[in-house]
Amino acid sequence: MEYPITQDAGLEARDDRLVTDSARTDRPTPDVDVVVVGAGIAGLYLAYRLSRAGHRLRVFEAGDDLGGTWYWNRYPGARVDVPSIDYMYSFDPNWQRDWQWSEKYATQPEILRYLNHIADKHDLRRHITFSTRVRQAGWDDGASLWRVRTDGGDDVSARFVVMATGCLSMPKQAEVDGLESFTGEVYFTSRWPHDPVDFTRKRVAVIGTGSSGVQSIPVIAEEAREVVVFQRTPTFSIPARNGQVSPERLALFAANEADYRSAARMSPGGIPMERSITPTFSVSEAERQQRYERAWGIGELFEAINVYADVLSNPAANHEFAEFFRNKIRAIVDDPQTASDLCPTDYPVATKRPCLDTNYYATYNLPHVRLVNVRKHPIRQITETGIDTAHEAFTFDAIVFATGFDAVTGAITAVDITGRDDAALKDKWADGPQTYLGLTTAGFPNLFLITGPGSPSVLSNMAVSIEQHVDWVLDCLGHLRAHGFAAIEPTAMAEAGWTQHVNDCADITLFPAANSWYMGANVPGKPRVFLPYPAGVDFYRATCDEVVARDYLGFKLSGPEGSMCNDGLVRRLQPDVEMILIQMAAMNLPTLDSMPVDEARAFYAQMSTTRPPGPDVGEIVDGVLPGATGDLAYRLYRPPTPGPHAIVVFFHGGGWVVGDAVSDDPLCRDLCVRSDAIVISADYRHAPEHRFPAAVDDAMAAVRWVADNAEALGGMPGRLAVCGWSAGGNLAAVVSRLTRDAGGPHIVGQVLLTPPTDGDLTRASYVENADGYGLTTALAQWCYDHYIDPADRRDPRFAPLCAGDLSGLPPAIVVTAEFDPLRDEGKAYAAALDAASVPVEHVRARGHTHQSLTMVDVALSGAPVRARIANALRGFFLPTRTPETAA
Ligand SMILES: Cc1cc2nc3c(=O)[nH]c(=O)nc-3n(C[C@H](O)[C@H](O)[C@H](O)COP(=O)(O)OP(=O)(O)OC[C@H]3O[C@@H](n4cnc5c(N)ncnc54)[C@H](O)[C@@H]3O)c2cc1C
C-alpha cells in the first residue's frame, strides 16, 4: 500500500516547521510495506500488529521454525528467569481459555509450544519465510524505500524494515584452539540439536558458567558419568525455587489482569514491583540480613536486585549484598577451594544479569562433578580426545559450549545495512552503537530496532519491552500514514543526546565496573559501551510516550508534500537529578519565598535532616569564632589523614537568608575527604535582620581569624583557600578580592560553586530556568531583596563582577550548572577572571541544577564535579602556590 499523501489539517497547523520538499510524487510502490527480520517473540507480535493494521509485510527467519531464542536454545535445563506468567504476550487477554503455564518458570519446550500456539491461534505463520537469512538491507533514497536481500535469493523492496533480530541470537565464537580436531561430540547451548542428547555414561566438559551453563550443568550432571566445568568468570546465582505458578499471582490475575499488566509496563523491570527507595545503610544490619534472606528465599530475580535502592550504585552497599551471596555459596559447596572459585569477587553483584538456578552450587558436591578455574588453569587447546590446560590433560566424550552471545548489537550488525549515502551501519557503530531511544538510528530512515541498544532490553522482562517497542512502531507507522509522511528518521542532535543520556544513566551505576556482555566486554574487539538503557522500563516508556506527545520530538518526518522536524533533546537533566525533581514535585512542598523568614529557616533546616550524611571524616569540631560584631558558629571538618593540613574556609548557601554553619554538612564532609584539607564552615549574619554588607564583614572576619589561628587549628599556615556555594560562593569571591586589596590574608585559591556575581535578573538563565529546577527566579529575587537594596547592587562587595580590576586574584574554579537561574552570572565571572589573566577553571555542570551538585550521595552524577573541585583545591595547595615559594 502506498501511503496516501494528503496535506492534512495537522500538517497545516505546523506550517512554521513545514519545509517544502522537492521530492518526487511518482515514487515506486514497494513490494511490501514492512520487512520484519526475525520470528521470535518480537517478530511474531509484529506480524500480529502489522497484519491487523493492514500493512503488507514479510517476515524472514533464519531458523527453520518460529520462536527465536526458544527455538534455538534447547539445551537441558533451559528456562525463563522471570515467571512464565509475566513472560508472555499481553495482547491476548483471553489467554487462560486455551493456555496454562505448568510451572512458575517454564521450560524451553513449554515456551516454544506457547509461541507456536499463539502463532497458530492468530494465523501468523503465513507471513513468515523460514530458513531464510536477511543478508543485506540498503536504503534507496531516491525511491524512499529499503531493498532487502536474503540468502534465499529474495530481493524485496519495503517502505520500512524492522530488525526483530534479538539481543541474544548471535552466538559468540568459541575462543579456543583445536576444536576441529576433537573427535567427540560438540554442542553449543545456543544451537542445541532438536533430537534429545543422551549423556549417560559420558564424560562431559561444559565451558562457560553464564546463565546457560548454570541452567544446564545440574541437568547434564544427572546423566553424565563425569562433568568437568571450565569456568572463567563465576556467576551470582539464586535458587529459582521453581514449582507451580504462584496462587497469589493467579489471584492477582483473576482480580484484574489489565491492572496487573499495566503495573508491569510501569515498573522498573517489566514485572509488577515497586522500585525500592530505601538506601542500604539506612536500616540496621539485622534488618538488612533479613531482607537479603527474603530475596534469596523468594526465588525471583528482579526482587533480588531490588532489595535496596543503592545496590547498583553504592559500592559499599553492593559489597555487603555480594558478600551475602558469597556466604551462601560457601555454605552450600563442601570443598572450600571449589567454593572459593565459585565466588565472584571481581565485579559488583547484579552488574551481570544474575542467574536463577536449580541445584547449581550443590551440583559441585557430587563426586563426579569438578570445577576448573581457567583463570588459574587456562585452557591451552582442545585436542583430539579432550581439553588440555597448562596443568592437566582431560579426556571427554562431549564438549558443551555455553559461551554466550555477541549481545544486543551482534545480530543487527551481522546484516549489511546501508543507509543514506550508502553509509554502513557497521561503520557508524564501530565505536559503539548510537541510537535514538534504542529504536532508530540517524542516517537510516524507516529502520526500526526492536529492543535495540539504548533501550531497556536485556535489563528487563523482555516480553514487556518487546510489546512496548512494537506498539510504539505501530503507532508511529499510523502517525506517518495519517499525516501523509513516508519517512521518519531521528536527528543527529536527538541521537547524540540520547546516547549521552544512556551513558549518563550508566555512569551513575556500578554497571561499567564489570567486564560484562552488557558492556560488550565478552567479545574481543567489541567497543566497551554500556548497551542497554538502565534507568528502567517505567522511565523509558514515559520517555518514548513523551517523544510522541511532543510531536515526535527529535525526529524528521518527510514525504512528497514536505517535511517536519521538531528537533530537540528529550532528556537534558542528569537522570538522578531528574528523578529528584520528579520526587520533589510529587511532594508538592511550599516554596521558601512563600513563607515568612523564620518559617523558611525552620523548613530549610528540617529538609536537611532527611538527607544522607556524607562521608565520614577524621574529626568534627564545633566552635565559635569572632565575627565582625560578635561570635559566630563554625564547624571544622578534619580529614582522617595525619596533619597538618591545608585549610578551606567554606561559606554556606541559603541566599544570605537561611542556612548556617552546618547546613551544608554533607558537602563539607565530601570536600574535606576528597581534598584532604581541613574545611571550616563559618557562619555569618543573615538578612533581613542583618542586611548587606554584614555577611561580607563576617566572612572577612572569619578568614582573618582562621589565617591567624591556622596552626592551632591543625592547619598549615599560608595554605588557605576559600570556597562557597550559592550565596556562599558570592562571599568567597568577594573575600578573595577584599583580601587582595587589604594585602592579606593570602588566599591561594577560590572555589565558587554556582555563585551569584551580580544578581542581574535580566540574564537569559533567569528566564530559561525561571521555574522547575529547585531554585526559581522568584526565590532568587526574594533572597536579593532581603539581602540588599537595589541601589547597592553594583557594589563589588555584592557584585564581584562589577569590580573594576580582577587582576591578581587567587586562581579560581567556577562551577556553573546548566539548569540554574544563576548560570550566566557564574559564567560571566569565570570569563571576567580569565580576561583579567586570573587562572580559572570553569566547569559547566551539564544537566545539573543550582542545588544538585551539593547533594552528596543523592545526586551521584555530581560526584565527578566535586572531584574536580577537590582536584583544583589540591592544585591550589601545591607548595608553588603558597606565599613563601610564590615570593
Ligand atoms: C537461553 C536464554 C534465556 C532467556 N531467558 C529470558 C528470560 O527469562 N526473560 C527474558 O526477559 N529474556 C530472556 N532471554 C532473552 C530473550 O532473547 C528474549 O526474552 C526474547 O526471546 C527475545 O525475542 P526476540 O524476538 O526479540 O529475539 P529472538 O528470540 O532472539 O529472535 C530473533 C530471531 O531473529 C532471527 N534472525 C536474526 N538475524 C536474522 C537475519 N539476519 N535474518 C533472518 N532471521 C534472523 C533469529 O534466528 C531469531 O530466531 C533469554 C535468552 C536466552 C538466550
CB–CB of 158/145 below 8 Å? Answer: yes
d(CA 464, CA 456): 10
CA-nearest residue, atom 4 of ligand 1: 80
Index of the ligand 1 atom closest to the CA of residue 466: 26
| Residue 295, H or E segment | helix 285-298
Question: Given this model, what pLDDT does residue 28 score?
Answer: 78
Q: Of 45, 73, 101, 169, which is best to mutate to test ligand 1, by the most ligand atoms within 8 angstroms of its C-beta? A: 169
pLDDT digits (tens, 9 = 90+) for 517-535: 999 999 999 999 999 999 9
Supply 634's cell numbers: 563554625
* Structure-model confidence comparison of residues 673 and 5, the more confident one: 673
User: Is a pLDDT exceeding 80 seen at residue 23?
Assistant: no
Index of the ligand 1 atom closest to the CA of residue 132: 43
CA-nearest residue, atom 16 of ligand 1: 69
> What distance in angstroms lies between residue 70's CA and the mean position of ligand 1's atoms?
7
d(CA 654, CA 801): 20
* CA neighbor of 50 nearest in space, from 484, 474, 478: 474
Strands (E), 629-755: 631-638, 645-651, 678-682, 715-725, 749-753
pLDDT band per the 50, 70, 90 thresholds, residue 92: confident
> What distance in angstroms lies between residue 61's CA and the mean position of ligand 1's atoms?
12
* CA neighbor of 211 nearest in space, from 175, 246, 241, 168: 168
| Amino acid code (one letter) for 409 | T
Strands (E), 152-198: 155-163, 185-188
* Average pLDDT of the chain to the nearest whole number: 94
pLDDT digits (tens, 9 = 90+) for 755-772: 999 999 999 999 999 999
Question: Which residues are bridge partners to 725 per DSSP?
Answer: 753
Index of the ligand 1 atom closest to the CA of residue 405: 53
CA-nearest residue, atom 48 of ligand 1: 68
pLDDT band per the 50, 70, 90 thresholds, residue 247: confident
Rounded to 5°, the CA angle 664-670-676 comes to: 125
The CA–CA distances, whole Å, from 159 to 34, 446, 565, 790 equal 6, 7, 20, 63
Helix segments in 365-435, DSSP class H = 410-413, 425-428
| Amino acid code (one letter) for 763 | R
Index of the ligand 1 atom closest to the CA of residue 211: 1
Index of the ligand 1 atom closest to the CA of residue 71: 49
CB–CB of 352/323 below 8 Å? Answer: no
Question: Which residues are bridge partners to 715 per DSSP?
Answer: 645
Index of the ligand 1 atom closest to the CA of residue 465: 11
d(CA 287, CA 38): 47
pLDDT band per the 50, 70, 90 thresholds, residue 24: very low
224: helix, strand or coil: strand
Query: Considering the chain, what percentage of its residues have pLDDT values greater than 90?
Result: 91
Index of the ligand 1 atom closest to the CA of residue 169: 30
Q: What is the mean pLDDT of residues 304-311?
A: 93
> What distance in angstroms lies between residue 685's CA and the mean position of ligand 1's atoms?
65
- Strand 203-207 to 398-401 pairing: parallel
Query: Considering the chain, what percentage of its residues have pLDDT values greater than 70?
Result: 96
> What distance in angstroms lies between residue 162's CA and the mean position of ligand 1's atoms?
15
User: Is a pLDDT exceeding 90 seen at residue 26?
Assistant: no
d(CA 63, CA 154): 16
Q: Of 45, 64, 69, 212, which is best to mutate to test ligand 1, by the most ligand atoms within 8 angstroms of its C-beta? A: 69
Q: Of 165, 209, 439, which is best to mutate to test ligand 1, by the most ligand atoms within 8 angstroms of its C-beta? A: 165
> What distance in angstroms lies between residue 377's CA and the mean position of ligand 1's atoms?
33
- Give the number of other Cβ atoms within 10 Å of residue 490's Cβ: 28
Q: Of 66, 462, 467, which is best to mutate to test ligand 1, by the most ligand atoms within 8 angstroms of its C-beta? A: 462
CB–CB of 800/734 below 8 Å? Answer: yes
Index of the ligand 1 atom closest to the CA of residue 150: 42
> What distance in angstroms lies between residue 38's CA and the mean position of ligand 1's atoms?
9
> What distance in angstroms lies between residue 170's CA and the mean position of ligand 1's atoms?
9
Question: Given this model, what pLDDT does residue 880 score?
Answer: 64
pLDDT digits (tens, 9 = 90+) for 816-831: 999 999 999 999 999 9
> What distance in angstroms lies between residue 39's CA and the mean position of ligand 1's atoms?
9
Helix segments in 307-409, DSSP class H = 315-332, 336-342, 360-363
Is the bond leading into 445 cis (omega within 30 degrees of zero)? no
Residue recorded with cell 552503537: 433
d(CA 594, CA 271): 41
CA-nearest residue, atom 41 of ligand 1: 134
| Residue 619, H or E segment | strand 619-626
- Give the number of other Cβ atoms within 10 Å of residue 243's Cβ: 10
d(CA 39, CA 116): 11
Question: Which residues are bridge partners to 372 per DSSP?
Answer: 230
> What distance in angstroms lies between residue 41's CA and the mean position of ligand 1's atoms?
7
Residues with CB under 6 Å of ligand 1 are: 37-43, 60-63, 68-69, 71, 73, 78, 80-82, 87, 133-134, 164-169, 212, 411, 415, 450-451, 461-462, 466
CA dihedral 712, 718, 719, 720 (to 10 degrees): 80
* CA neighbor of 723 nearest in space, from 815, 631, 658: 815
Question: Given this model, what pLDDT does residue 246 score?
Answer: 84
> What distance in angstroms lies between residue 171's CA and the mean position of ligand 1's atoms?
11
405: helix, strand or coil: strand
The CA–CA distances, whole Å, from 83 to 240, 303, 306 equal 10, 12, 16
Q: What is the mean pLDDT of residues 825-850?
A: 98
d(CA 515, CA 295): 25
Question: Given this model, what pLDDT does residue 68 score?
Answer: 98
d(CA 365, CA 363): 5
> What distance in angstroms lies between residue 112's CA and the mean position of ligand 1's atoms?
12
Question: Given this model, what pLDDT does residue 225 score?
Answer: 98
User: Is a pLDDT exceeding 80 seen at residue 853?
Assistant: yes
Index of the ligand 1 atom closest to the CA of residue 73: 1
| Residue 143, H or E segment | none
> What distance in angstroms lies between residue 75's CA and the mean position of ligand 1's atoms?
15
> What distance in angstroms lies between residue 408's CA and the mean position of ligand 1's atoms?
10
pLDDT band per the 50, 70, 90 thresholds, residue 779: very high
The contacts of residue 176 (CB under 8 Å, 6+ apart) are 207, 379, 381, 382
d(CA 750, CA 833): 11
d(CA 869, CA 729): 13
Query: What is the distance, to the nearest Å, from the Cα of residue 737 to the centroid of all Cα atoms in its chain?
Result: 42
> What distance in angstroms lies between residue 222's CA and the mean position of ligand 1's atoms?
28
> What distance in angstroms lies between residue 635's CA and the mean position of ligand 1's atoms?
58
| Residue 65, H or E segment | none
239: helix, strand or coil: strand
Index of the ligand 1 atom closest to the CA of residue 460: 11
pLDDT digits (tens, 9 = 90+) for 680-713: 999 999 999 999 999 999 999 999 999 999 999 9
| Amino acid code (one letter) for 486 | A
d(CA 753, CA 775): 14
CB–CB of 793/784 below 8 Å? Answer: yes
CA-nearest residue, atom 29 of ligand 1: 68
Supply 796's cell numbers: 563589588
Reading across the β-sheet that carries 393-395, which strands appear in turn? 379-382, 386-389, 393-395
CA-nearest residue, atom 38 of ligand 1: 165
| Amino acid code (one letter) for 840 | V
Rounded to 5°, the CA angle 249-251-255 comes to: 120
> What distance in angstroms lies between residue 691's CA and the mean position of ligand 1's atoms?
67
CB–CB of 857/614 below 8 Å? Answer: yes
> What distance in angstroms lies between residue 182's CA and the mean position of ligand 1's atoms?
29
Phi/psi for 521 (5° steps) reads: -80, -10
Index of the ligand 1 atom closest to the CA of residue 212: 1
Index of the ligand 1 atom closest to the CA of residue 41: 25
Q: Of 168, 217, 406, 409, which is best to mutate to test ligand 1, by the most ligand atoms within 8 angstroms of its C-beta? A: 168
- Strand 555-559 to 18-19 pairing: unpaired
The contacts of residue 143 (CB under 8 Å, 6+ apart) are 27, 28, 30, 157
Q: What is the mean pLDDT of residues 345-367?
A: 96
For CA atoms 582, 585, 587, 592, the dihedral sign is positive
pLDDT digits (tens, 9 = 90+) for 394-427: 999 999 999 999 999 999 999 999 999 999 999 9
User: Is a pLDDT exceeding 70 seen at residue 69?
Assistant: yes
| Residue 398, H or E segment | strand 398-401
Question: Given this model, what pLDDT does residue 9 score?
Answer: 29
- Strand 562-565 to 18-19 pairing: antiparallel
CB–CB of 41/466 below 8 Å? Answer: yes
CA-nearest residue, atom 34 of ligand 1: 38
The contacts of residue 285 (CB under 8 Å, 6+ apart) are none
Question: Given this model, what pLDDT does residue 183 score?
Answer: 97
User: Is a pLDDT exceeding 90 seen at residue 251?
Assistant: no
> What distance in angstroms lies between residue 306's CA and the mean position of ligand 1's atoms?
25
Q: How many helices (H) and strands (E) does the chain have?
A: 27, 30
Question: Given this model, what pLDDT does residue 882 score?
Answer: 53
> What distance in angstroms lies between residue 789's CA and the mean position of ligand 1's atoms?
67
d(CA 455, CA 535): 9
The contacts of residue 490 (CB under 8 Å, 6+ apart) are 435, 436, 437, 440, 441, 442, 498, 554, 555, 556
Using the CB atoms, write b or e for 386-396: b if 16+ within 10 Å.
Answer: bbbbeeeebeb
3-state secondary structure 516-542: CHHHCCCCCCCCCCCCCCCCCHHHHHH
d(CA 161, CA 60): 11
